[in-house]
Amino acid sequence: MKISVDHPRCEGHGLCADQAPDIFSLDDDAELTYHFEGAEVPDEHQLAARAAVNACPVAALRVLS
């Protein structure tokens, strides 16, 4: 499973990091870092990753199968 991040669309709410702190983080200016950019999300993080995708209020995250 991979996740795509639409960075221009991201408004830096940070609700993804609430759901999946191991794969998303934001700095104090609300710039998002996705820790598995271009890579597969490890199995143990997949449930949290899907919850994070759902929780994004601007639909900037998508699961790529």
Partner 1 sequence: MTARRSVLIVGESLAGITAARHLRTLGHTGPLTIIGAEEHGAYSRPPLSKAVLKDPAADDTLGLALDGIDAEVVRSPAVTADTRRRTVTTADGRQTGYDALIVATGADARRLAAPRQRGELVLRTLDDARLLRARLANASSAIVIGAGFLGMEVASACAARGIPVTVVDADQPLERILGGCLADAITARAAAYGIRFVQATGFATLTGDPVGGVALPDGTELTADLVVTCAGELPCVSWLAGTGLADRLGVGIDHACATTAPGVFAAGDVTYLRGDGTRPDRRAPFWSNAVAQGRTAAASALGLPAPGPPNDDYFWTEIAGLAVKVVGPLPLIGEPTSVQGSVTDGRALLTWSHADGTSTVVAYGLRKPVAALRALAATSSPPSP
14 class by beta-carbon count within 10 Å (0-12 exposed, 13-18 middle, 19+ buried):
middle
Q: Site map for partner 1, 4-43, x if CB under 8 A?
A: --x--x-xxxxx-xxx------xxxxx-------------
CB atoms within 10 A of CB 32: 20
* Residue 49: CB minimum distance to partner 1, A: 10
- Give the rounded distance of the alpha carbon of 18 from its chain centre: 10
Binding region for partner 1 (CB under 8 A): 6, 9, 11-15, 17-19, 26-30, 46-48, 50-51, 53-59, 62-63, 65
